[in-house]
Amino acid sequence: MDEEFRLHIELETEQNLRAGMDPREARRRALLAFGGVERHKEEMRDGCGARWLEDLARDLRHAARGLARTPGFTLVAVLTIAVGVGATTVVYGLVNAILLEPLAVPAAERLFALDELRWGAVWQGIEGRGVPYARYVRYREATEGVFTGLAAHRRTMFSLRARGETMAARGVMTSGNYFAVLGLQPEAGSFYTEDDEPSAVIAYHLWRDRFGSDPDVLGSVVHIDGQPFTIVGVAPRAFTGTLHGLPADVWVPVVAARRASGLESMAAWLAMFGRLRPGVEPRAASAFVDGTAKQIPPDEPQTRVRGARLEPLSGMARGGSRDEARTGLTLLFGTALLVLLIASANIAGMLIARGVARRREIGIRLAIGAGRGRLVRQLMTEHALLALIGGAGGVVLAALGARAISASPLLGPQELVLDLGLDLRVLGFALAVTVATSLLSGLYPALQAARPALVPALKDAGPADARARSLFVAGQLAMAVVLLVLAGNFVRAFQRTLALDLGYDPHGIVIATTDLGPLGYDDVRGRAFYERLVERVRAIPGVTAVALAGAPLLGGGALINDVRAAGGDEARHEWGVLQNHVDPEFFATLRLPLVAGRGFTEADRDGAPHVAIVNQTLARRLWPEEDPLGKVIHTYGGEAVVVGVVRDGRYSLRYGAPGPFAFFPFAQRYSGSMTLHVRHDDGTHVGTLIRRIREEVEALDPNVAVQRAEPLSAPVTQMLGPMEFATGLLGLFGAIGIALAGVGVYGVLAFQVARRSREFGIRIALGAPPRAVVRHVVSRWTVLAGISAAAGIALGLVASRLLERALHIHGLGAFEPATFAGVAAVLAAVGVAASYAPVRRAVRVDPVEVMRVE
Amino acid sequence: MSLRAQTDALRGSIDLLILKTLSLGPMHGWGISQRIQQASEGVLELNQGSLYPALQRLEKEGLITSAWGVTENNRRARYYKITAAGRRVLGEEIESWRRFAAALEMVMRTT
């Protein structure tokens, strides 16, 4: 380009020389005739499209200069964006790790869980409804046309004895084709292939941590629930099972595992999943298995199969807990988005104000011919730069938040292990959020600022800006109030749960569960084992009382069965009553107060008349008008005479009021799995006590593992954990939201006062008292804030109601005057704090000075 | 005539002049402006600000091509050449220009 122009000028010069001009004049004329070299160049570059690049560079330079010139604005804006982006990104990280993360298997999208829908079945664990092994085999044969393979699995706890040590291992009983259907290759060794072979596959982390990655482990024999299994392989490092956050340690073939335990019938309740054959549509396959399910005759006469359906096999637990996790995470995500929206509104407000402050500058540029699109682009560039810096800050905040969450025990059960690293997807999300925020908050102000109304622009801010800002701030306030109401309701619900009267004293008690069932104990040997165990544990220093129960007291009972009053009519029939079987020490150890009759004694043994103790609710329901003592009930195991009534207590933390409950003597109802309830004195260290209990169990039988040992109150903590987490996060979001809204209110008021300072000055000069000025500044605001607050409270209440149902958190949606008073108080405080400075400025306007400004 | 249409007409006539000039043979930018000036006996003085962008545009539209060459006194120069498409367009443009000019002439005469 340069060369071409130079030539042109040279030739022109030569021509002028020939015409008789002197050299200097000749060149001058040539240059004059040619015109501005740079301008021509620019026009030509316009033509080849390089201009936008150059413009961008210039815009960026300009933007950076502009931002550096107003460090206060820049800092507040960047922080605001960082908080909004950080909040959403952190929650998205959770969603990503729990809901979105695909299974670490090839082509996971072709894997589908097969759920049989049946009437009369009990919900079986977290992997969904299951079917007995024999039924699984029929499904496997019948679905060969649609699946390359149909696998079955079930999580369980094993006693794993290897190299002289017994540990409780998180196990999975699987069909032989499990790994083949998943499409995995072993990290080392090989996978088993038969349903019935005494082989085991161990998880990579177990291999590394417990066996020091020793290759000789392959081929060695370990004892699982007392039976020998050969370790044949190590699962790939990335694969820890089919549930996120609940890793497995060991996999064994289901039939071999159940044969070892001698409990063939317990092989029931396997969950199934299959890999679709290439070309088979999920919908067609689902219809096919639905038909198949109805053709396979039911395994039990009382069961009715309604059909079956396919659902993508994700890493999420299925059933109720998944729905709760989903709702909970959706809630958190929604609130994080609210924070982001509030932050965006703030940024928009700040940008409008900035646009107004720069209106003169922009007006001048418009006047000398800058294109409106060009100006919008430049303002947007400045804003995008701001957003990118803020977004980067948000990612840093999110990383810090993710680390804090990973380290906190609040997320759920202790065994939950989540990888909250910021992967590409999370970073991509953060970028998308940043860009969206930037567009959302920047476009309107930029368009507004570059409005080509030159004359008013050169004079003053238009009323449209004030209106727009008012709307932004009103929306912000409403959203912040929604957050506050939710947070307040969660806090109240949380307090209520904390203050829960369990009906007994859960403190100072450690529980430890062992299961003799899979080890081949019969009831005689089992009772003897537990008798000796109780004796030994009672002898541990610091232990004051020991009792046995079929299930931890807070575990919701060992059994659910119908209870019917003997000789009673249909009305005296309670469906699905929780039941537990306990030894004579139980009520005293747990300090469960009996309100009538007696507790169990040594005399209530096998052979003696069967007895039961009911709680007040069950007594009232079965015999509303009569004395329950001496009445006979029918339930699991036959008839029993009611000998005592225990005070109502909470045996499950999930639902509202305590329901009917019945206790039976261990001596008259046996189960291999029992839970020790050990009361200790205050000076005893819980960890030490648990270790001593493990030692006593091992001394009695080295193959028995203690599956669960923790304070009795641990389930309370566990249930409260996610709730506390959600409450904490909501509280944090609420605080951020209201703080941002406060900044927004401050901004609008300050802006208004600055805009109308002349008017105020005149008013004061004319003798208006300060009160009138104050009223002028805040009156419209009070009304607007009131409307926003009312709308926010209504929305928050509706949301709480919906969440109460979805999350089973009792009383979440209750209308609590205290909460709303609190919200109103916070709102008022924020309003006063935000308006204090602007109002003071308005009152102190010096009329003389204001008049002089122009 | 609106401002926009006027600009279009001017731009069209610059294109027409350039194509016409190049139809006589390849030429560099300065040469084109000289030729036009001479041919119009000094009436049409082509502004350089429109000449080079116009050349660039015509090249982009495929009506002309360019290549570096050497002038009679051994200086490097960018020579522009009309393409087949350019000739075709030129034919059409001349035709429509003539119609336009004739129409103008007619209007002038009647009023």
Alpha-carbon gap, residue A641 to A659, rounded angstroms = 20
Residue A444 CB neighbour total at 10 angstroms? 16
Between chains, do B77 and A4 touch, taking CB under 8 Å as contact?
A: yes
* B77 inside 8 A of chain A by CB: yes
**Residue A10 distance to chain B (closest CA, Å):** 10
Which residues 6+ apart lie within 8 Å of A175 measured at CB? A136, A140, A151, A152, A153, A195, A253, A254, A270
The amino acid occupying position A243 is L
Tokens representing residue B9 in the block: 């007409």
DSSP 3-state of A188: strand
- When pLDDT is cut at 50, 70 and 90, the band that residue A653 belongs to is low
pLDDT tens figures, A745-778: 887 777 777 777 777 778 888 877 878 777 777 7
User: Residue B1: is its pLDDT beyond 80?
Assistant: no
pLDDT for A463: 58
Which residue from B95, B100, B109 is spatially nearest to B10, judged by alpha carbons? Answer: B100
| Residues A310 and A289 sit within 8 Å (Cβ to Cβ) | yes
Instruction: Say yes or no for a CB contact (<8 Å) between B75 and A10.
Output: yes
- Suggest the residue from A34, A37, A39 to mutate for an interface test with chain B (most B CBs closer than 10 A): A34
Residue B6 has pLDDT above 90, yes or no: no
Return the DSSP state at A99.
I
Bigger pLDDT: A466 or A266? A466
Other CB atoms closer than 10 Å to residue A433's CB: what's the count?
Answer: 26
Interchain CB distance below 8 Å, B30 and A47 = no
Would you state the structure tokens that stand for residue A153, as one six-digit string?
């699995």
Q: pLDDT digits over A148-192, tens only?
A: 999 998 877 777 888 888 787 888 889 999 999 999 999 989 999
Nearest to A136 by CA among A315, A322, A308: A308
Tell me what pLDDT residue A265 has: 41
Q: Considering only CB atoms, which chain B residues are within 8 Å of A46?
A: 53
Say if the Cβ atoms of A4 and B48 lie within 8 Å.
Answer: no
How confident is the prediction for chain A on average, in pLDDT?
Answer: 79
Q: What is the pLDDT of residue A732?
A: 85
Q: Residue A655 pLDDT more than 70?
A: no
Share of chain A above pLDDT 90, in %: 14
* pLDDT at residue A208 is higher than 50: yes
Which carries the bigger pLDDT value, residue B38 or residue A150?
A150
Contacts of B49 in chain A (CB under 8 A): 35-36, 39-40, 43
> Which string of DSSP letters, residue by residue, matches chain B?
--HHHHHHHHHHHHHHHHHHHHTTS-EEHHHHHHHHHHHTTTS----HHHHHHHHHHHHHTTSEEEEEEE-TTS-EEEEEEE-HHHHHHHHHHHHHHHHHHHHHHHHHHH-
Q: What's the pLDDT at A513? A: 86
To the nearest whole Å, the CA of B24 is away from the closest chain A CA by 20
> Per-residue confidence at B7, pLDDT binned at 50, 70, 90?
very low
Query: B30, A7: Cβ pair inside 8 Å?
Result: yes
State the average pLDDT over residues A642-649: 90
Q: How far apart are CA A205 and CA A536, in angstroms?
A: 34
Separation of alpha carbons A685 and A691, rounded Å: 10
What are φ and ψ of residue A117, in 5° steps?
-100, 120
Contact A461, A359 (CB under 8 A): yes
User: Which chain A residue shows the shortest CA-CA distance from B75?
Assistant: A7
User: End-to-end CA distance of chain A, in Å?
Assistant: 50
Among A432, A384, A395, which residue's Cα sits nearest to residue A83?
A395
Enumerate residues 51 to 70 of chain B having a beta carbon within 8 A of any beta carbon in chain A: 52-53, 56-57, 60
Listed in sequence order, the residues at least 6 apart from A179 whose beta carbon sits closer than 8 Å to its beta carbon are A186, A191, A192, A201, A235, A251
- Mean pLDDT across A385-392: 88
Closest by CA to A414, choosing from A717, A79, A71, A102, is: A717
Residue A246 has pLDDT above 80, yes or no: no
Q: Supply the angle between the helices B48-60 and A37-48 in degrees, to the nearest 10.
A: 20
pLDDT of residue A69: 82
Average pLDDT for A481-485: 85
Selected for mutation to probe chain B from A6, A10, A11, A15 (highest B CB count within 10 Å) is A11
Contact A12 B30 (CB under 8 A): yes
Tokens of A800: 């709480």
Residue A802 in this model has a pLDDT that exceeds 50? yes
CA distance A193 to A38: 77
Min CA distance, A452 vs chain B (Å)? 20
Asked if the Cβ–Cβ distance from A44 to B56 is below 8 Å, we say: yes
Q: What is the pLDDT of residue A186?
A: 92
Closest approach of B40 to chain A, Cα-based (Å): 18
Instruction: Please state, rounded to an integer, the average pLDDT across all residues of chain B.
Output: 78
Chain B residues touching residue A35 (CB < 8 angstroms): 47-49
The band of A274, judged by pLDDT with boundaries at 50, 70 and 90, is very high
Nearest to A43 among B31, B53, B76 (CB): B53
Per-residue pLDDT band for A300 (boundaries 50, 70, 90) equals low
Distance of CA A31 to the CA centre of its chain: 71
Give how far B56 is from chain A: nearest CA, Å: 7
Mutate to test the interface with B, among A2, A3, A4, A5 (most CBs of B within 10 A): A4
Distance CA A146, CA A178 (A): 17
Among A113-127, A190-204, A477-491, A686-700, which is the least confidently predicted range?
Answer: A113-127
How high is the pLDDT of residue A124? 31
DSSP label of A244: T
pLDDT band per the 50, 70, 90 thresholds, residue A535: very high
Residue among A7, A39, A46 minimizing CB distance to B77: A7
Long-range contacts of range A574-578, CB-CB < 8 Å, 24 or more positions apart? A574/A618, A574/A621, A574/A622, A574/A660, A577/A618, A577/A635, A577/A659, A577/A660, A577/A661, A577/A662, A578/A651, A578/A652, A578/A659, A578/A660, A578/A661, A578/A662
Q: What confidence score (pLDDT) does residue A52 get?
A: 67
Tell me which of A6, A8, A37 to substitute to probe the interface with B (most B C-beta atoms closer than 10 Å): A8
- How far apart CA B28 and CA B13 sit, in angstroms, is 19
Selecting from B47, B52, B78 the residue whose C-beta is nearest the C-beta of A44 gives B52
Quick one: pLDDT at residue A316? Answer: 62
Greatest C-alpha distance within chain A: 139
Comparing CB atoms, the residue among A11, A15, A47 nearest residue B56 is A47
Q: What pLDDT is stored for residue A530 in this prediction?
A: 94
Q: How many CB pairs under 8 A join A and B?
A: 48
Lowest mean pLDDT, pick from A39-48, A453-462, A660-669 = A453-462
ipTM above 0.95, yes or no: no
Give the mean pLDDT of A186-206: 90
pLDDT at residue A458 tops 60: no
- pLDDT tens, residue by residue, A590-640: 888 899 999 999 899 888 899 999 999 899 988 888 888 988 898 877 889
- Of A600, A647, A597, the C-alpha closest to A620 is A647
Question: With bands split at pLDDT 50, 70 and 90, how would you rate the model's confidence at A203?
Answer: very high
Chain A: give the shortest CA distance to residue B44, in Å. Answer: 14
Lowest mean pLDDT among A81-85, A446-450, B36-40, B73-77: A446-450
Residue of A756, A742, A709, A722 whose CA lies nearest to A834: A742
Residues of B in contact with A3 (CB under 8 A): 76, 78
Q: Flag the least confident range among A17-26, A582-591, A598-607.
A: A17-26
Question: Residue A841's closest CA among A788, A780, A782, A778?
Answer: A778
The count of C-alpha atoms lying within 13 angstroms of the C-alpha of A404, restricted to the half-sphere facing its C-beta, is: 11
Q: What is the pLDDT of residues A29-69, one digit of tens each?
A: 777 777 666 666 666 665 555 566 777 788 888 888 888 88
